[in-house]
Every structure is written in C-alpha cells, then in structure tokens.
Amino acid sequence: MGFRLLAVGTAAAVTLTALTACSSSKGGSGGAAVIGVDYPRSDTDFWNSYIQYTPQSATQLGITLKTSNSQNDVAKLAANAQAFIAEGVKGVVMAPQDTAAIAPTLSQLAAKKIPVVSVDTRPDSGNVYMVVRADNRAYGTKACEFLGTKLSGHGSVVMLEGDLASINGRDRTEAFNDCMKKDFPGITVYGEAANWDAAAAAQKLQTDLTAHPDIKGVYMESSFALSGTLQLLQQKGLAVPPTDPKHVFVVSNDGIPEELKDIAAGKIDATVSQPADLYAKYALYYVQAAVQGKSFSPGPTDHQSTIIQVRPGLLEDQLAAPLVTADGGEYGGTPSLKSTDTSLWGNHLG
C-alpha cells in the first residue's frame, strides 16, 4: 500500500532512520488470521459509523473478525480482551476510552504475543503496535481558530468537554485553551466537563447561556452534544442565521452526516471531520501487518498522513481530519472543506 515499511529486526527499523517509502512482503500471509475488534461504544453516531465500516474493511483485507463492545467500560474491555485470548485471535484492535487504565490489559496481550492496534485513542502508558488516530490537539486548535475569527477576538464561548480521563478529551481541551490564550485573549472560555455525556452537556450549556448572555460560541468536543445544543439554541431564540447579531457560532468534532447536513442548513457552523472510515481501514491494515511480522518507521504515508514516534516503541499514524464549513473558507490560517465536499465520509453514509 506504499507505506514506510521495514522488516522486523532490521537496523533501519531500530534506528528509524530509513525514511524512504518502501514496502516488504516478508512475514508470510496473515490475511486469513482471526482478528479481535472491540467496539468502544455504540451510543454515538460516530462510533456507529465506525462499527459499520469495520466489517467492510475486513472483507476487503481478507480478515476474519471476532467482535465485542465494551460500552465505555474499561472493565468490560479487559474482560473482552481475555475472551479474545481464549478464542485464539492473532491480533486485537481496540479504542480504550479510559486511556490511563488500559495498561494492564495491554501487558496481558503482550505476554501472549498478541499485537494490539489502538484506534482513535492512545494509551497513557504501555505500548501498542500502532496507534491510528488524528491529531486531536489540531481539533481544538481548528475549533479555536474558527470561533476566534468569527467572534473577531471578543466575547465568550462555552467548551463542552469530553472525558478528561481520555487523551482525546485532554488534547482537545488543552489545545483549545492554549490557542485562545495565545491568539484570542479577549475571548472568555467557559470550560464544562461533560464527559461525552449528552444530558450533562445540555444541562451545563443551559446554565451558561442563562448566566452569560454574551456567549457567542459553542465548541462541542464531539457530536454527543449536537442535539441538545441545537434544542437549547432554538428554545432561547438563538437559532438564527449567521448574519443575525444574536447568532451563536457552533463548532463540533466528528463529521457525521447529521453535522454536515446541519452546516449546509445553517444550524451549526463548522466541524472537524474525524475519519471513521479510515480509522476502520487502517486499524485493520496495521493489525494485519503486525500478524505478518512487519513494522513501520516515522514519516509520511501514501494516504496523506504522517507516522510519528510518540515515545520509544510507540508509533502513531495521524490521519487527516479537515475543518468543514459552509463556505470552504480559511480561518486563522486553517483551510476548510465545504460541507458538501464528496471526499467527506459523512456524505457517503446515512
């Protein structure tokens, strides 16, 4: 597939200095290997999209799947991993939502020589064969640049945070705050810990909108808060076009079909498209490569991403996650795609 691929144990793989794109077929065929995939949850449109894409990608790669759903519970994820071990899987794909608590499970899988690919999230400690995710700090920065530009550097915004036990929640929150402090110091940020929970997000947003009538922006760290946010803006008479001074600019993260439709309809203003289709595709590609005895080094790939070394022994393929707006304009130096762009996975699903 044109990745920067090295045979396991070569000096180039150890030193990570051979940066020319190349591939290797060493390691034999692992296409028929049984792979365990744990779905982290099925209560959001984004993860349901990922669940839909995963078997499609498995079929394309000739992979047989065993699947489980840990339902946002790290204890269930640990139990599911034990079941995978008992079932004799050759590799595991997971997306731990509590990235601090997954280390013991990773150690157990490593002891059984079962490679793991972590998709969307990265373990705080312990290593996996490859992390497949987008640059989550870029999510927060892109949202900040969009809102800061639209508000001309003044006013206040609410940030509906994800779970700070997850590296994704921390990355998005820290990057948004850092960007606002640096580039838009005139904007006040009300950070609300919503823990990826729609009801908590709606309750806290309602409180903020009542207490701070000058709020002109909302950053949702994922689409979990979409429905509640739109309902509240409607109730308070703030669901008005961007040309109306009462308009509250809304930025989300995910790129689900509903968000793209809402952008086109003027209900929200932007999102950062998290590639559910590519998460499924490349998570399975990498776990298959692990079973085949292949390894990778840092550098650009042929699918517009970059493999980085996070720490010794841990690589991450950072997939592209574009800002999406109605006009496809540039905000704070960040270009965007139009919500109708056919390259967006959300325009091909649902």
Note the pLDDT tens digit of each residue in 112-150.
999 999 999 999 999 899 999 999 999 999 999 999 999
- Position 109 scores a pLDDT of 98
- Position 6 scores a pLDDT of 41
β partners of residue 158? 190, 218
* Residue 22 binned pLDDT confidence (cut-offs 50, 70, 90): very low
The residue behind tokens 């720490």 is 311
- Position 9 scores a pLDDT of 32
Q: Is the pLDDT of residue 27 over 80?
A: no
Determine the Cα–Cα distance for residues 110 and 125; give it in Å rounded to an integer. 13
Residue-by-residue DSSP string for 183-244? H-TTEEEEEEE-TT-HHHHHHHHHHHHHH-TTEEEEEESSGGGHHHHHHHHHHTT----TTS
Closest to 258 (Cα-Cα) out of 268, 248, 243: 268
- Position 166 scores a pLDDT of 84
- Position 189 scores a pLDDT of 98
Cβ-proximal residues to 283 (8 Å cutoff; 6+ apart), any chain: 37, 93, 117, 119, 132
Q: Which domains are present in the chain?
A: 5-135+275-319 (3.40.50.2300), 136-273+322-347 (3.40.50.2300)
User: Cα 69–169–187 angle (5° rounding)?
Assistant: 150
* Residue 350 binned pLDDT confidence (cut-offs 50, 70, 90): low
- The mean pLDDT of the chain is 90
* Residue 181 binned pLDDT confidence (cut-offs 50, 70, 90): very high
- Position 4 scores a pLDDT of 43
Pick 5 or 124 by higher pLDDT.
124
Closest to 93 (Cα-Cα) out of 290, 275, 256: 290
Note the pLDDT tens digit of each residue in 7-20.
333 223 322 222 22
Determine the Cα–Cα distance for residues 218 and 252; give it in Å rounded to an integer. 8
**Percent helix, strand and coil across the chain, each to the nearest 5:** 35, 25, 40
- Average pLDDT of the segment spanning 74-82: 97
* Residue 202 binned pLDDT confidence (cut-offs 50, 70, 90): very high
Note the pLDDT tens digit of each residue in 206-236.
999 999 999 999 999 999 999 999 999 999 9
Pick 336 or 8 by higher pLDDT.
336
- Position 209 scores a pLDDT of 97
- Position 30 scores a pLDDT of 40
pTM of the model: 0.84
Q: Is the pLDDT of residue 246 over 90?
A: yes
Q: Is the pLDDT of residue 174 over 90?
A: yes
- Position 153 scores a pLDDT of 97
Pick 6 or 282 by higher pLDDT.
282
